[in-house]
Amino acid sequence: MSKNELHLPSLRLAPQQLYQACDPAQFAFASTAELEPLSELIGQLRAFDAVRFGAGIRHDGFNIFVLGPPGVGKRSMVSQMLSRQARSEPAAADWCYVNNFDHPHKPQAMRLPSGRGTDLQQQLAQRVAYLRSAIPALFEGEDYRAKAEAIGQAFTTRQESAFKELGEAAGQQHIVLLRTPSGFAFAPTRDDEVMAPDEYEKLPEDEKQRIAGAIAELQKQLEKILHHIPQWMKERGEQLKQLNRETTGAVVTQVVDELRSRFHDLPQTSRYLDQLQHDMIENADDFRHEDETANLSGLTVVNRKTFHRYQVNVLVSNGEHAGAPIVSEDNPTYGNLIGRLEHIAQLGALMTDFTLIKPGALHRANGGYLLLDVRKVLMQPFAWDALKRALQTREIRIESLGQMVSLVSTVSLEPEPMPLDVKIVLFGDRLFYYLLQQYDPDFAELFKVAADFEDRIERSAETHQLYARLMATLCAKEQLLPLDRLAVARVIEHSARLVGDAQRLSTHMRSVADLLQEADFWAREAGLAAITENNVQQAIDAQIHRQDRLRAQLHEAILRETLLIDTQGAVVGQINGLSVLQLGDFAFAQPTRITATTRLGTGEMVNIEREVKLSGAIHSKGVLILSSYLAARYARNQPLALSASLVFEQSYGQIDGDSASLAELCVLLSHLANVPLRQSLAVTGSVNQLGQVQAIGAVNEKIEGFFDICVARGLTGEQGVLIPQANVKHLMLRRDVLAAARAAQFHLYAVAHVDQAMSLLTGVPAGEAGAGGQYPADSINRRVATRVAELGALRKGFAKPPEETKQKNRRK
């Protein structure tokens, strides 16, 4: 007997191989209330070291990309690590925008030590409020009024003196200077009275000429005086303005000097205060009047003078936080990342100034850490490019989207860019990381640290203890009842089931937390003081029940024979495959009938699913492997003169994966050998060109899917499932399946080669080729080889002799 000709019992798995239980006796505690909580996630040493390195290194481009599926606790662990790191770092600076008095459309960015920005804002606001009351009081004082009146009186005296001298000069020539509503005029006089026009006409001609000449000369002198009057008025205005400066300067200098002494250690602030002092003195008149208001069409418009320009716009203040800031932005739009310019509508126009500059996440995280979800960033228009540009230039430049894409050409603010010193931490699935590595040339330069989180860890006695502490941590965090030892063991077993591996545990903390919360609900309903094993099982069953409507309908269709599945008897060219359906977080399997036909042909393997475009690439690859296996094993020295068809019966959706390739090969061999296959067995497994059976996924769900149908129809003791030998370590079956296996009512077989599967399915030895390449008589392989040889002979018989073909061509 060859090693491939194995009897059925030798491949049957023992019940203890179907489930790796967690022994509660290994736990020394009565409940998780006695355990110390965990400070970090278990089994994530690689990711922990990467985050620690990325947070510590300060060179350009060493930003962090945290890889891994959602729900493993990436964000919470990274946040905890960064919090510890941030506490040991210096506090971030405050950042403000202040008015640029020389170029108001280019506000100045100002950096101040932590907490000093708010102090400057408050102190300056208090000083401006004081000046708004103090300066008007100075202008209303007697001293100022006396000086202003003296300046006005000097102007009046100078003007009147000039006109008086001109009048006296005119009087000497018997001409008078008259003030009229339209201006000044000269007229001749007689006996100090203005001469009437008719009297003037009676004068001798030479007298008229004398008067005309005198008036002309006086007119020139008058024009000179009138020409000097604007200059005198300007001089008066300059004198008044200088008086205003002197009056304002004293109090403004005193107030600003107080601010200088308070911020003397900040050179940039001192320069700004110099500019502020100069502007206040130059615009002293603005302090003398209240804000002007106007009512236009029911709208009140306020002219805030220039006091608005003396405000300090504190963009970021870190005075209340110790250490470096840690910012998480859940809505990373373009504006929320780099900041934005807000506008105020006034009379149909949008107005803005430096006080309407609003910070973005980069501003708030400057000097610290910014946590972002890469998927959300990529979904927001222009956000990803803006983030990269900020990291590349190491500055935050606030631009509106309209300006950036040149959609608007109106004059707007151009805030001075702020220097950027931030560590970006991106969270996302592995798919995003590898796609960005492939298609974004800037990504590798900007995100040099990858922190890859495990989705599973090795199962051992040590990890069992750590998992128990993890449950204690979750219970404390969520204020849940503690778990007893049996409940902890059941959760660990369920964790292994979640990851589909008896030797591994899931690190998907969200699933574990959800399970504990549901178990807590059932325990409290029962009035218990701790969560028991029954509560955990009740939560597991409830989770499945809420999602298994479609599974129940499909199973009902099989039991009512709407979907044709046999679980007894034997049929040639027909086998039960197992397919898995994934609905969100819920996966289940059902048996699927696979049939095959073979006939004389040219070696063509027809995958009907592929022909109608219902076959995925991996499934099509699996079918092509079958044709290679058949040709290599049974037609090595001759053409493969057969055509075969494979189909998943009553399948109307997309099919992918190669987990049915073992079943497809077995059904092909069954049809070629004309040997019936046991319908009480279902088959799952992938096969390669050498006939070796390879591991597949979702092995537990596939076994349970066939088991449920068999139970519904009645277990006979002959039913079971063939699985790859490599999948034995993944088995974590339901307890009802275990009970049926212990009672020898349902069986699991582990196969490593297609020959073993065929022996189990047919009860006939597969057979191994001897020294001459012949298979034993009555073996499966002998029958297949004989059929392949027959088909080769048939094909040769149908071929026409060359001479006959030539004669036929000549006749044509």
CATH number at residue 486: 1.10.8.60
* DSSP of 138-172: HHTSHHHHHHHHHHHHHHHHHHHHHHHHHHHHHHT
Nearest to 289 by CA among 305, 277, 276: 305
495 is in which domain, residue-wise?
Answer: 31-36+459-547
Query: What's the mean pLDDT in 177-199?
Result: 73
Read off the pLDDT of each residue in 358-383 and give the average, rounded to a whole number.
94
* Angle, helix 485-499 to helix 509-525, in steps of 10 degrees: 140
pLDDT of residue 411: 55
Instruction: Please determine, for residue 72, whether its predicted confidence score (pLDDT) is greater than 80.
Output: yes
CB-neighbour burial class of residue 158 (10 A; exposed 0-12, middle 13-18, buried 19+): middle
Q: Is the pLDDT of residue 557 over 80?
A: yes
In a domain, 803, yes or no: no
Q: Note whether 785 and 655 are same-domain residues.
A: yes
Domain contains 419: yes
- H helix or E strand, kind and range, residue 597: strand 586-600
* Angle, helix 533-547 to helix 509-525, in steps of 10 degrees: 110
What is the rounded distance in angstroms from the CA atom of residue 724 to the CA atom of residue 701?
A: 14
Indicate the pTM of the whole model: 0.79
- Residue where a domain terminates, one of 409, 424, 453: 453
Residue 774 in 3-state DSSP? Answer: coil
How does pLDDT run across 312-332, given as a tens digit for each residue?
Answer: 999 988 877 778 999 999 999
| 223 and 147 fall within a common domain | yes
Query: Does residue 240 lie within any of the structural domains?
Result: yes
Beta strands at 183-190 and 193-194: parallel, antiparallel or unpaired? antiparallel
464 & 442 share domain:
no
Instruction: List CB contacts of 56: < 8 A, sequence separation 6 or more.
Output: 85
The answer on 630 and 684 residing in a single domain is: yes
Query: Do 496 and 520 belong to one domain?
Result: yes
**With 60 as the cut, is the pLDDT of residue 296 above it?**
no
**pLDDT tens-place string over residues 711-735:** 999 999 999 999 999 999 999 999 9
Rounded Cα distance between 371 and 388, Å, is: 15
- In this prediction, residues 529-548 reach a mean pLDDT of 93
Which of 517, 547, 577 represents a domain boundary (last residue)? 547
Radius of gyration of the chain (CA): 48
Same domain, 435 and 466: no
Residue with tokens 């959609």, as numbered in its chain: 407
Residue 84, amino acid: R
pLDDT score at 327: 93
Indicate the number of domains in the chain. Answer: 4
Is the per-residue pLDDT at 764 higher than 60? yes
Residue 127 lies in a domain: no
The whole-angstrom separation of Cα 519 and Cα 539 is 5
Q: Which of 368-372, 542-546, 596-600, 641-645 has the lowest mean pLDDT?
A: 641-645
Average pLDDT in the chain: 85
Assigned domain for 771 exists: yes
Which of 210, 222, 118 is CA-nearest to residue 173?
A: 210
Same domain assignment for residues 641 and 625? yes
Beta bridge partners of 600: 642
Return the pLDDT at 1: 35
Residue 807, domain member (yes or no): no
Judged by DSSP in three states, 645 sits in: strand
**Range among 181-195, 579-593, 613-627 with highest mean pLDDT value:** 579-593
Helix (H) or strand (E) holding 118: helix 116-139
Residue 468 and residue 390 in one domain: no
Tell me the average pLDDT across 422-435. Answer: 94
Within this chain, do residues 662 and 770 fall inside the same structural domain, yes or no?
yes
Mean pLDDT of all residues in 369-394: 94
Largest CA distance in the chain: 165
Active site residues: 659, 702
CATH of the domain at 612: 3.30.230.10
Q: Is the pLDDT of residue 807 over 60?
A: no
Residue 712: its H or E element: helix 699-713
Give me the CATH number covering residue 437.
Answer: 3.40.50.300
Same domain, 529 and 642: no
In angstroms, the CA 266 to CA 251 distance is 23
> Where a domain ends, among 524, 547, 570?
547
Q: Tens digits of per-residue pLDDT, 600-612?
A: 888 777 777 777 7
Query: Where does the pLDDT of residue 63 fall: very low under 50, low under 70, confident under 90, or very high at 90 and above?
Result: very high
Task: Say what the pLDDT of residue 133 is.
Answer: 83
Q: Look at 169-183, 409-423, 461-475 and tell me which has the smallest mean pLDDT.
A: 169-183
107, part of any domain:
no
Specify whether 722 is located in the same domain as 771.
yes
Burial 693-729 (b: 16+ CB within 10 A, else e): bbbbbbbbbbbbbbbbbbbeeebeeebbbbbbbbbbe
**Could you read off the pLDDT of 777-795 as tens digits, one per residue?**
888 888 988 888 888 888 8
- The set of long-range contacts for 338-344, using a CB threshold of 8 Å and a minimum separation of 24, is 338/362, 338/386, 338/390, 338/396, 338/397, 338/398, 338/399, 339/315, 339/363, 339/396, 339/398, 340/398, 340/400, 341/398, 341/400, 341/412, 341/413, 341/415
**515 three-state secondary structure:** helix
Q: Are residue 421 and residue 463 in the same domain, yes or no?
A: no
Averaged pLDDT for residues 386-412: 79
pLDDT at residue number 487:
95
Q: Is residue 332 part of a domain?
A: yes
